[in-house]
Amino acid sequence: MIDRRRFLSHLAELARFGADELGGVSRTGFSEADHAARRYLCERSRMLRLRATVDAAGNLFIGRREADRDRPVLLFGSHLDSVVHGGRLDGAYGVVAALETLARLDERDGSFAYEPVAVAFANEEGAEFGYPFFGSKAMVGPIEHAERLVDSAGLPLRDALRAAGGDIDALSSAVWPAGRLGGFLELHIEQGPVLQRAGVPLGLVEAITGRHIFEITLTGEQNHAGTTPMDDRHDALVAGARLTLAIEDIARVRRLCAVSTVGRFDVRPNVTNVIPGAVTLTVEIRDGSLDRLANAERAVLAAVAALGPGIDARVDVRMRAAPVRTDHRLSAAITDAAAEHGLPVLTMHSGAGHDAQIVAAAGPVGMIFVPSRDGISHSPREHTEPEHLLAGADVLLTTVRRLLEGADR
Ligand code: GLV
Ligand code: MN
Ligand code: MN
């Protein structure tokens, strides 16, 4: 069992970093609040006689002081960054549970099948710097155009990463060599309504959704809102609004993918008496099938092309993350651990993206969910009952123990 008081107090203390006036957390990746949360985690790790290190991509790894570097790693954790006005559990829950798991293992003799390591991946949300899964992607391969990434205030990633202890010029050193990863376990809140509706305390994730993101800039003609006749206008905001409706139709009406969203929409110059000259918006499509995603992507591009003359469009692919299936052996270990705690488990899909789907390129992954009240997440209203948080953390600890001891073989 985990140390309940310590676990809940770590979770509550972490929620102070980036706490916002809405009762949630705004702790975007590589922000000051994120740096502070990471420092807090390092300090707690030291107090628990664990060793914290940061790789070039800003991923924070916590390991045993007497770590055996020759053993394959059993990695567990999630991310510390949040969306703007997000909740206190998305990501942070899995990281705190991972720290607690490691703290409980540290008492043992170390004759493990794997080296246990906890992780807080950098900038999973990509709420700033526009690159979701930044840290986990850096772990499995090269990051393209990292030099170009800036946050909404114009701060280059180079500087933000340095402040986190990373190094943009050494990103290739963050890639794990083949065979180093024995497995990755991510414990996370569900962020949807399935578990609560079913009245089941634990979810076993069998597949994680695929997700493609585009940033689209439409340029029309900025002009005077009083003097320009309606037929002479090239209004970028109107074009963007039409595009937004077409994107919604791709999933809601045409059913080409599971969900389609325009989540960000910036208007320039965003002034009452000026016809908008340019807009930048993000389009996100998600589905469990790569073929369907490819088809939906074609529909996005066709909708852009249909905007017609007078509007220039530039489409940047921000990310393509394929759907993945979790590993049978890790899933069996999770199921067995849940049974050991007498907890029922529901096998389910994840509609949210997770670092686990990226890490899957480097080794087997498994995921555990706990219920989200009313299915709400990416919101200050995000909540999970403490008893469910504790149950999930206990199951993570037991799963890790089983795998380390080779009890599942
Ligand atoms: C991850 O937070 C996602 O947007 O699914
Ligand atoms: Mn999230
Ligand atoms: Mn998350």
145-194: pLDDT as tens digits = 899 999 989 999 999 999 999 999 999 999 999 999 999 999 999 999 99
Tokens representing residue 193 in the block: 């309504």
**CA nearest neighbour of 97 among 358, 374, 378, 391:** 391
The mean pLDDT value of the chain amounts to: 96
**CA nearest neighbour of 284 among 305, 312, 265, 310:** 265
190 lines ligand 1 (CB under 6 A): no
Q: CA 196 → CA 87, 89, 185, 186, 366, distances in Å?
A: 18, 16, 22, 20, 21
284 lines ligand 1 (CB under 6 A): no
Phi, psi at 340, each rounded to 5° = -60, -30
pLDDT value for 144: 85
81 lines ligand 1 (CB under 6 A): no
pLDDT value for 180: 97
The ligand that comes nearest to the alpha carbon of residue 210 is 1
Ligand 1 atom closest to 351 (CA): 5
Least confident residue range of 71-80, 109-118, 153-162, 347-356: 109-118
pLDDT value for 406: 84
pLDDT value for 145: 87
> Cα 357 vs. chain centroid, distance in angstroms?
10
191-224: pLDDT as tens digits = 999 999 999 999 999 999 999 999 999 999 999 9
- Pairing mode, strands 202-208 and 345-350: parallel
Q: Considering the entire predicted model, what is its pTM? A: 0.91
Phi, psi at 402, each rounded to 5° = -60, -45
> Cα 88 vs. chain centroid, distance in angstroms?
14
Q: For atom 1 of ligand 1, which residue has the closest CA?
A: 353
Which sign, positive or negative, has the C-alpha torsion 231, 237, 238, 240? positive
Res 83 pLDDT > 90: yes
Q: Which residues contact 287 (CB under 8 A, 6 or more apart)?
A: 209, 210, 257, 258, 259, 293, 296, 323
pLDDT value for 241: 98
Ligand 2 centroid distance, CA of 12 (Å):
18
125 lines ligand 1 (CB under 6 A): yes
- Between 313 and 318, whose confidence is greater? 313
Interior/surface letters 358-395, b for 16+ CB within 10 angstroms, e for the rest? bbbebbbbbbbbbbbeeebbbbbebbbeeebbbbbbbb
Tokens representing residue 329 in the block: 């052996």
210 lines ligand 1 (CB under 6 A): no
Res 108 pLDDT > 60: no
Q: Give the whole-angstrom CA distance, residue 363 versus residue 137.
A: 13
94 lines ligand 1 (CB under 6 A): no
Q: What is the mean pLDDT of residues 280-294?
A: 97
DSSP 222: -
Q: Which residues contact 396 (CB under 8 A, 6 or more apart)?
A: 76, 97, 98, 101, 185, 187, 337, 368
Ligand 3 centroid distance, CA of 199 (Å):
22
